Structure 1
Amino acid sequence: MRLLTVFFLLIVHPGFAPAQPKTKPKLQVTPLNDRVLVHTTYGMYQNESVPSNGLIIKTDDGVVLVDTGWDTDGNTDNSRQLLQWVADNLRQPVRLCIVTHAHGDRVGGIREMRKAGIRVVSTPLTAQNSVKQGYDAPDAILPNDTTFTIGKEPIRCYFPGEGHTSDNIVVWLPNQRILHGGCFVKSVAAFGMGFLGDANLKEWGNSIRRVKKQFGTAKTVVPGHEEWSDTRSLDHTLRLLEKHAAAQK
């Protein structure tokens, strides 16, 4: 009888269709140039599928990842897909994974990385916060501003001050002039500030200005979510912060 009812509704109301369960898109990988690619995995936020961006950096001595896939509740499928993609397409070992703050879209796949023998590193504060959030702790070895080189590719990890979280860092590739802003930087496509549960709204603007001063020559700025552009995303983040502050008055 239920099937007959659905069939009747489809005939009488062609726009009617049974609700389909929402599913997350699979991993996407997009080259920025011949050395750096963006990995995009998806998670659910407010019942919507949301893209999350990290980096795949090809060096002469293997691959460096910036952020894991977006994994939560012990499910590491996104990070597993990411590692499989690297193995199948780049045929290089992953030497290191840098995580940029202690939320599931950055650290949720640490367990999968470790299973594959990959070292995951962060600042001490991110390691502490990861445990508080219920995730595995990365190795807490990064100072607040440090540059190291892997396979002739210099990589700078920089803590600009609090913003999206108390521990957010950005990752700068000087040879490529690519800045990974993580969730600290909002995409030019963003209309709002997103999740603010761990944010420092008073300091975020000052921290963005420090990033502009340090990395104003960036050709590409990759935000944590949605599409990437150039340093316009830094100015857009400042405008969103001002708009949010005005709305709270």
Structure 2
Amino acid sequence: MRHLPVLLAWLFFAPCVHAQTPQKPRLVVTPITNHVYVHTTYGVYQQSSVPSNGLIISTQGGVVLVDTGWDTKDDTGNTEQLLRWVADSLHQTVRLCIVTHAHEDRVGGIAALRRAGVRVISTPLTAQKSIRLGYESPEGILPSDTTFTVGQVPIRCYFPGEGHTSDNIVVWLPNQHLLHGGCLIKSVATFGMGNVADANLGEWANSVRRVIRQFGTARTVIPGHEDWSDTRALEHTLRLLAKYNAQKR
């Protein structure tokens, strides 16, 4: 995967850091098709810098984001950079954001989006969980399986069952055969399950199998973290789950 760094001027004014600890850019945007991009922002998990992936979908009716930048309650800078990138690079406004579950790498930037007048939606469960975690709540309006169109681009939001969390959804772009699997799906570049604090390890594999049945024709599969590929990521997730659960027995 090749990343396209954007908005990096701030690096030249940042304090110098040791050569062995290079500073990550706040935002990386990578084109996938002419009108779909992956936005990657960075957060800290277990004292390591971890990339988090979302989507930028450019339509005739404005831009749709899938997931906010990875922000905290005190710092919404990643999502603010994302909004600036859309304005400066696409010369469009963000019309809508779909968040895929209630963790800070998905909902952390809702406050920044609301300040910018962006509508943020998800499922009722994600809305409830966001409030409990102390984040602003998306509008909990999405049913478990729905397709809507923005600027002539169909977007399907699908809840396959519990897995990484009880509320994780995936987003399917049928015109591009592109699946945003979010944190339900593991990158082929990863060899561990990551954050399983809110996981349903007994149902996760069944949920991935439902995703395979629904979206097995995907040409591109975007996981929540690390590099993306194709449907190999779905099978890789099943293998990781089988190994992890076997070790727990």
How high is the TM-score relative to the length of structure 2? 0.91
* Deviation by residue 1:151-190 (Cα, 9 ceiling, x = unmatched): 0000000000000000000000000100000001000001
Write the mapping of 1:46-85 to structure 2, written as runs, cut at 5 A: 46-85=46-85
Q: C-alpha separation between the residues in 2 aligned to 1:185 and 1:21?
A: 29
Question: Does 1:174 pair with 2:139?
Answer: no
Q: C-alpha separation between the residues in 1 aligned to 2:245 and 2:117?
A: 44
Q: Tell me, what secondary structure is at the counterpart of 2:166? A: coil
Retained in 1: the 8 A contact 2:171–2:181?
Answer: yes
Retained in 1: the 8 A contact 2:52–2:224?
Answer: yes
Partner of 1:206: 206
Q: C-alpha separation between the residues in 2 aligned to 1:18 and 1:174?
A: 45
Q: Tell me, what secondary structure is at the counterpart of 2:85? A: helix
Select the structure of larger CA radius of gyration.
Answer: 1
Q: Tell me, what secondary structure is at the counterpart of 1:92? A: coil
Q: C-alpha separation between the residues in 2 aligned to 1:118 and 1:211?
A: 29
Q: How large is the RMSD of aligned CA atoms in angstroms?
A: 1.4
Q: C-alpha separation between the residues in 1 aligned to 2:23 and 2:30?
A: 21
Retained in 1: the 8 A contact 2:187–2:226?
Answer: yes
Question: Does 1:233 pair with 2:233?
Answer: yes
* Deviation by residue 1:117-166 (Cα, 9 ceiling, x = unmatched): 00000000000010111111000110010000000000000000000000
Aligned partner of 1:95: which letter?
R
Retained in 1: the 8 A contact 2:110–2:136?
Answer: yes
Q: C-alpha separation between the residues in 2 aligned to 1:193 and 1:83?
A: 30
* Deviation by residue 1:55-74 (Cα, 9 ceiling, x = unmatched): 00011111000000000132
Aligned partner of 2:65: which letter?
L
Retained in 2: the 8 A contact 1:23–1:49?
Answer: no
Q: C-alpha separation between the residues in 2 aligned to 1:79 and 1:69?
A: 5
Retained in 1: the 8 A contact 2:68–2:106?
Answer: yes
Aligned partner of 1:89: which letter?
S
* Deviation by residue 1:20-71 (Cα, 9 ceiling, x = unmatched): 7774432000000101000000001111110000000011111000000000
Partner of 1:243: 243
Q: C-alpha separation between the residues in 2 aligned to 1:134 and 1:23?
A: 28
Aligned length: 233
Write the mapping of 1:3-22 to structure 2, written as runs, cut at 5 A: none
Retained in 2: the 8 A contact 1:188–1:236?
Answer: yes
Write the mapping of 1:41-120 to structure 2, written as runs, cut at 5 A: 41-120=41-120
Moved over 3 A (4+): 17-24
Query: Structure 2: which 5+ runs fail to align?
Result: 1-16
Q: C-alpha separation between the residues in 2 aligned to 1:26 and 1:101?
A: 21
How high is the TM-score relative to the length of structure 1? 0.91
Retained in 1: the 8 A contact 2:73–2:135?
Answer: no
